[in-house]
Amino acid sequence: MSSETPSTPLVTFVGAESGTWLIDRIEALTGEPIVPAKWLDIRSGDCAQCPNNWILRGAVSHARYTTSEESLKLTAKQPALGRAEATSAALIPIRKSAAWWALAQDERRAIYEERSRHTTVGLEYLPRIARRLHHSRDLGEPFDFLTWFEFAPEHEVAFEELLARLRASEEWEYVDREIDIRVRRVG
């Protein structure tokens, strides 16, 4: 009884021996690492039969904290994926702790935005850094979120700054597993 055109499209990230994006490095920042892979491929839908070193899946779903005002600001500034000049990219899987998920919606929102400024900080880096969030938690995946970022190589410094600011925030005290996978589009 699965619907034919899912309203929350499933995206599968495949770490393998061939693919579209060449993996430059995989760094385990917090928690258990993942095994190495040479290439990263991004597939629509499931890919259980794809040859792989690892597979990470997430659904492109609705935003969980964004207010209507923030949503308007984001929509006005955020670029599409697939820009020709955006040949650098990163896949950052994170998992949040049981303590985070035990918080109520208002408590999570207060940490996420009122205190950590997640959306406000992210807005400063638009339209340089394109971003797509994938929700994995309800899928029984090892990570809660997979965030995919695309940018021109000249904006790598800005991207590092964005990550450093988020990682220094109160919200990140609840991140108990984080992998940073850097890739570039080849050919």
For residue 147, which amino acid is it? T
DSSP line for 130-145:
EEEEEE-GGGT-SSSE
Q: With CB under 8 A as the contact rule, which of the stretches 78-86, 122-130, 131-139, 154-162 interacts with a second copy?
A: 131-139
61: contact with a second copy by CB under 8 A: yes
Question: Are 90 and 165 spatial neighbours (Cβ–Cβ below 8 Å)?
Answer: no
98: contact with a second copy by CB under 8 A: yes
How many residues at the interface with a second copy, by CB under 8 A? 38
Least separation in angstroms between residue 42's CB and a second copy is: 16
- Cα 160 to Cα 152: distance, rounded to the nearest angstrom: 13
For residue 124, the surrounding DSSP H or E stretch is helix 118-124
For residue 11, which amino acid is it? V
120: contact with a second copy by CB under 8 A: no
Q: With CB under 8 A as the contact rule, which of the stretches 21-29, 57-65, 81-89, 120-128 interacts with a second copy?
A: 57-65
Whole-number Cα distances in Å, 129 to 40, 65, 98, 119: 19, 20, 30, 13
71: contact with a second copy by CB under 8 A: yes
The closest alpha carbon to 19, from 58, 70, 54, belongs to 54
78: contact with a second copy by CB under 8 A: no
49: contact with a second copy by CB under 8 A: no
Q: How many CB atoms lie within 10 A of CB 133?
A: 14
117: contact with a second copy by CB under 8 A: no
- Give the nearer residue to a second copy in terms of CB position, either 29 or 110: 110
Q: Which residues bind a second copy (CB under 8 A)?
A: 1-3, 6-8, 10, 34, 54-56, 59, 61-68, 70-71, 98, 101-107, 109, 135, 137-142
